[in-house]
Protein backbone atom coordinates (compact mmCIF):
# COMPACT_ATOMS: atom_id res chain seq x y z
CA UNK A 1 0.00 0.00 0.00
CA UNK A 2 1.34 3.43 -0.94
CA UNK A 3 0.41 6.69 0.72
CA UNK A 4 -0.17 9.55 -1.68
CA UNK A 5 1.40 11.96 0.79
CA UNK A 6 4.94 11.67 2.13
CA UNK A 7 5.81 9.36 4.98
CA UNK A 8 6.13 12.33 7.27
CA UNK A 9 2.43 13.05 6.77
CA UNK A 10 1.42 9.44 7.13
CA UNK A 11 3.07 9.43 10.54
CA UNK A 12 0.72 12.22 11.62
CA UNK A 13 -1.33 9.68 13.53
CA UNK A 14 1.48 9.52 16.07
CA UNK A 15 2.84 13.04 15.77
CA UNK A 16 1.58 16.54 16.55
CA UNK A 17 0.16 18.26 13.51
CA UNK A 18 2.85 20.38 11.89
CA UNK A 19 3.93 21.56 8.48
CA UNK A 20 3.84 18.82 5.86
CA UNK A 21 6.44 17.92 3.26
CA UNK A 22 5.73 18.75 -0.39
CA UNK A 23 4.61 22.25 0.51
CA UNK A 24 6.01 25.53 -0.64
CA UNK A 25 6.36 28.60 1.50
CA UNK A 26 2.85 29.61 0.57
CA UNK A 27 0.74 29.89 3.71
CA UNK A 28 -2.44 28.62 2.06
CA UNK A 29 -0.66 25.50 0.80
CA UNK A 30 0.86 24.86 4.20
CA UNK A 31 -2.56 25.24 5.80
CA UNK A 32 -4.04 22.75 3.35
CA UNK A 33 -1.27 20.24 4.07
CA UNK A 34 -1.76 20.62 7.81
CA UNK A 35 -5.48 20.05 7.32
CA UNK A 36 -4.79 16.85 5.40
CA UNK A 37 -2.38 15.75 8.13
CA UNK A 38 -5.15 16.13 10.69
CA UNK A 39 -7.45 13.98 8.55
CA UNK A 40 -4.80 11.27 8.33
CA UNK A 41 -4.20 11.41 12.08
CA UNK A 42 -7.92 10.97 12.74
CA UNK A 43 -8.62 8.24 10.17
CA UNK A 44 -5.42 6.19 10.18
CA UNK A 45 -7.05 3.89 12.74
CA UNK A 46 -9.51 2.71 10.10
CA UNK A 47 -6.80 0.98 8.13
CA UNK A 48 -7.97 -1.84 10.37
CA UNK A 49 -11.48 -2.46 9.03
CA UNK A 50 -12.47 -4.07 12.34
CA UNK A 51 -11.99 -0.70 14.01
CA UNK A 52 -14.30 0.85 11.42
CA UNK A 53 -16.98 -1.77 12.09
CA UNK A 54 -16.68 -1.20 15.83
CA UNK A 55 -17.15 2.53 15.19
CA UNK A 56 -20.48 1.85 13.45
CA UNK A 57 -19.51 1.80 9.77
CA UNK A 58 -21.39 -0.73 7.65
CA UNK A 59 -20.66 -2.06 4.19
CA UNK A 60 -22.64 -0.55 1.34
CA UNK A 61 -22.93 -4.12 0.05
CA UNK A 62 -25.69 -4.47 2.66
CA UNK A 63 -27.55 -1.71 0.81
CA UNK A 64 -27.26 -3.35 -2.59
CA UNK A 65 -24.04 -1.72 -3.77
CA UNK A 66 -20.92 -3.68 -4.59
CA UNK A 67 -17.42 -2.58 -5.44
CA UNK A 68 -17.90 0.63 -7.45
CA UNK A 69 -16.31 0.73 -10.89
CA UNK A 70 -16.18 3.52 -13.44
CA UNK A 71 -18.02 1.40 -15.99
CA UNK A 72 -20.78 0.80 -13.46
CA UNK A 73 -21.27 4.56 -13.31
CA UNK A 74 -21.37 4.92 -17.08
CA UNK A 75 -17.75 6.06 -17.45
CA UNK A 76 -14.82 4.70 -19.49
CA UNK A 77 -13.11 1.66 -18.00
CA UNK A 78 -9.69 3.35 -18.03
CA UNK A 79 -10.84 5.58 -15.17
CA UNK A 80 -10.62 2.53 -12.93
CA UNK A 81 -12.74 2.15 -9.82
CA UNK A 82 -13.52 3.52 -6.38
CA UNK A 83 -13.80 0.41 -4.27
CA UNK A 84 -16.11 -0.77 -1.51
CA UNK A 85 -17.77 1.91 0.57
CA UNK A 86 -18.29 1.57 4.30
CA UNK A 87 -20.90 4.05 5.52
CA UNK A 88 -21.48 5.72 8.88
CA UNK A 89 -25.25 6.15 8.92
CA UNK A 90 -25.29 8.57 11.87
CA UNK A 91 -25.48 11.99 10.25
CA UNK A 92 -25.06 10.54 6.77
CA UNK A 93 -25.67 13.09 4.01
CA UNK A 94 -25.86 16.10 6.32
CA UNK A 95 -24.13 19.30 5.16
CA UNK A 96 -21.64 19.52 8.03
CA UNK A 97 -18.43 18.45 6.28
CA UNK A 98 -15.91 16.83 8.62
CA UNK A 99 -13.26 14.65 7.00
CA UNK A 100 -11.76 13.89 10.38
CA UNK A 101 -14.99 11.98 11.02
CA UNK A 102 -15.91 10.98 7.46
CA UNK A 103 -19.30 9.50 6.71
CA UNK A 104 -17.71 7.11 4.19
CA UNK A 105 -14.54 5.01 4.21
CA UNK A 106 -13.41 3.47 0.93
CA UNK A 107 -11.66 0.10 0.94
CA UNK A 108 -10.18 -1.79 -1.99
CA UNK A 109 -9.51 -5.51 -2.39
CA UNK A 110 -5.82 -6.39 -2.27
CA UNK A 111 -6.28 -9.35 -4.57
CA UNK A 112 -9.00 -11.23 -6.39
CA UNK A 113 -11.10 -13.28 -3.97
CA UNK A 114 -14.31 -14.14 -5.85
CA UNK A 115 -15.83 -15.87 -2.83
CA UNK A 116 -15.87 -12.61 -0.85
CA UNK A 117 -18.90 -10.32 -1.09
CA UNK A 118 -17.63 -7.92 1.61
CA UNK A 119 -20.96 -7.56 3.36
CA UNK A 120 -20.73 -6.34 6.96
CA UNK A 121 -21.48 -9.77 8.37
CA UNK A 122 -18.93 -11.47 6.16
CA UNK A 123 -16.20 -8.96 6.98
CA UNK A 124 -16.90 -9.52 10.67
CA UNK A 125 -16.85 -13.31 10.47
CA UNK A 126 -14.47 -14.16 7.62
CA UNK A 127 -10.88 -13.33 8.44
CA UNK A 128 -9.61 -13.97 4.91
CA UNK A 129 -12.09 -11.53 3.37
CA UNK A 130 -11.49 -9.01 6.14
CA UNK A 131 -7.72 -9.12 5.66
CA UNK A 132 -8.13 -8.62 1.92
CA UNK A 133 -9.47 -5.09 2.41
CA UNK A 134 -7.14 -2.10 2.34
CA UNK A 135 -8.20 1.43 3.27
CA UNK A 136 -7.73 3.68 0.24
CA UNK A 137 -9.73 6.87 0.71
CA UNK A 138 -12.06 8.84 2.91
CA UNK A 139 -15.18 10.48 1.57
CA UNK A 140 -17.80 13.01 2.60
CA UNK A 141 -21.24 12.94 0.99
CA UNK A 142 -23.86 15.69 1.26
CA UNK A 143 -27.43 15.31 0.01
CA UNK A 144 -28.24 18.25 -2.25
CA UNK A 145 -31.67 18.84 -0.74
CA UNK A 146 -30.14 19.31 2.73
CA UNK A 147 -27.81 22.13 1.67
CA UNK A 148 -29.02 25.51 3.01
CA UNK A 149 -29.94 27.73 0.08
CA UNK A 150 -32.26 30.48 -1.09
CA UNK A 151 -35.13 29.35 -3.32
CA UNK A 152 -33.79 25.79 -3.35
CA UNK A 153 -30.77 26.80 -5.46
CA UNK A 154 -28.34 24.54 -3.63
CA UNK A 155 -25.91 24.66 -6.58
CA UNK A 156 -24.96 28.16 -5.43
CA UNK A 157 -23.64 26.72 -2.18
CA UNK A 158 -21.48 23.80 -3.29
CA UNK A 159 -19.56 22.12 -0.43
CA UNK A 160 -15.80 22.54 -0.48
CA UNK A 161 -12.72 21.18 1.24
CA UNK A 162 -9.36 22.89 0.98
CA UNK A 163 -10.64 24.98 -1.92
CA UNK A 164 -11.79 21.87 -3.82
CA UNK A 165 -15.45 21.76 -4.87
CA UNK A 166 -17.36 18.55 -4.23
CA UNK A 167 -18.54 16.64 -7.31
CA UNK A 168 -22.26 16.59 -8.08
CA UNK A 169 -23.86 13.22 -8.76
CA UNK A 170 -27.42 12.45 -9.79
CA UNK A 171 -29.04 9.52 -11.50
CA UNK A 172 -30.19 9.86 -15.10
CA UNK A 173 -33.53 8.05 -15.46
CA UNK A 174 -32.88 7.56 -19.18
CA UNK A 175 -29.74 5.50 -18.59
CA UNK A 176 -31.22 2.58 -16.71
CA UNK A 177 -28.15 0.42 -17.36
CA UNK A 178 -25.88 2.56 -15.18
CA UNK A 179 -26.11 3.96 -11.66
CA UNK A 180 -24.56 7.42 -11.75
CA UNK A 181 -25.50 8.31 -8.16
CA UNK A 182 -24.67 4.93 -6.61
CA UNK A 183 -28.21 4.40 -5.38
CA UNK A 184 -28.44 7.72 -3.55
CA UNK A 185 -30.56 10.80 -4.27
CA UNK A 186 -28.80 13.80 -5.87
CA UNK A 187 -25.75 14.62 -3.79
CA UNK A 188 -22.30 16.14 -3.64
CA UNK A 189 -19.33 13.94 -2.78
CA UNK A 190 -15.58 14.25 -2.47
CA UNK A 191 -12.96 11.54 -2.08
CA UNK A 192 -9.51 12.11 -0.61
CA UNK A 193 -7.12 9.34 -1.62
CA UNK A 194 -4.87 9.50 1.42
CA UNK A 195 -3.98 5.83 1.72
CA UNK A 196 -3.64 4.77 -1.92
CA UNK A 197 -1.83 6.64 -4.65
CA UNK A 198 -4.17 8.05 -7.29
CA UNK A 199 -2.47 9.25 -10.49
CA UNK A 200 -5.71 10.99 -11.45
CA UNK A 201 -5.40 13.30 -8.45
CA UNK A 202 -5.91 13.43 -4.70
CA UNK A 203 -9.59 14.39 -5.03
CA UNK A 204 -10.52 12.47 -8.18
CA UNK A 205 -13.64 10.28 -7.84
CA UNK A 206 -12.05 7.35 -9.69
CA UNK A 207 -8.65 5.77 -9.32
CA UNK A 208 -7.11 4.07 -12.38
CA UNK A 209 -4.91 1.99 -10.08
CA UNK A 210 -7.92 0.42 -8.36
CA UNK A 211 -9.62 -2.75 -9.56
CA UNK A 212 -12.64 -4.65 -8.31
CA UNK A 213 -11.34 -7.75 -10.15
Residue 199: burial class (beta carbons within 10 Å; 0-12, 13-18, 19+):
exposed
Summarize pLDDT for 9-41 with one digit per residue, the tens.
Answer: 333 433 333 333 333 346 566 668 999 999 999
Alpha-carbon distance 149 to 130, whole Å?
A: 42
DSSP 109: E
What are the φ and ψ backbone dihedral angles of 105, each rounded to 5 degrees? Answer: -115, 135
Q: What is the mean predicted confidence (pLDDT) over 199-204?
A: 97
Asked whether the predicted pLDDT for residue 155 surpasses 80, the reply is: no
CB 159 within 8 A of CB 168: no
Confidence of residue 3 (pLDDT cuts 50, 70, 90): very low
Asked whether the predicted pLDDT for residue 5 surpasses 60, the reply is: no
Name the residue with higher pLDDT: 31 or 163: 163
Dmax over Cα atoms in the chain, in whole Å? 51
For residue 168, give every residue at least 6 positions away whose Cβ sits within 8 Å of its Cβ, in sequence order, or none: 144, 155, 158, 186, 187, 188
What are the φ and ψ backbone dihedral angles of 60, each rounded to 5 degrees? Answer: -70, -10
Summarize pLDDT for 33-65 with one digit per residue, the tens.
Answer: 999 999 999 999 999 999 999 999 999 999 998
Q: What pLDDT is recorded for position 156?
A: 80
Q: What pLDDT is recorded for position 113?
A: 97
Q: Which of 132, 89, 112 is nearest to 213 (CA)?
A: 112
Asked whether the predicted pLDDT for residue 150 surpasses 80, the reply is: no
Alpha-carbon distance 124 to 144, whole Å?
A: 33
Alpha-carbon distance 137 to 146, whole Å?
A: 24
Summarize pLDDT for 78-131 with one digit per residue, the tens.
Answer: 999 999 999 999 999 999 999 999 999 999 999 999 999 999 999 999 999 999
Amino acid sequence: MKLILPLAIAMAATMPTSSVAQTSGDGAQQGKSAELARVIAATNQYRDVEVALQAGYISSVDMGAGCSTATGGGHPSQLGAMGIHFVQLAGFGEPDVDFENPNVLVYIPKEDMPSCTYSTGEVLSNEACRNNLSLAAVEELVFAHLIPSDNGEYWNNVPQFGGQDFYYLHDNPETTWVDEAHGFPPHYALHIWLFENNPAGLYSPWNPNVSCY
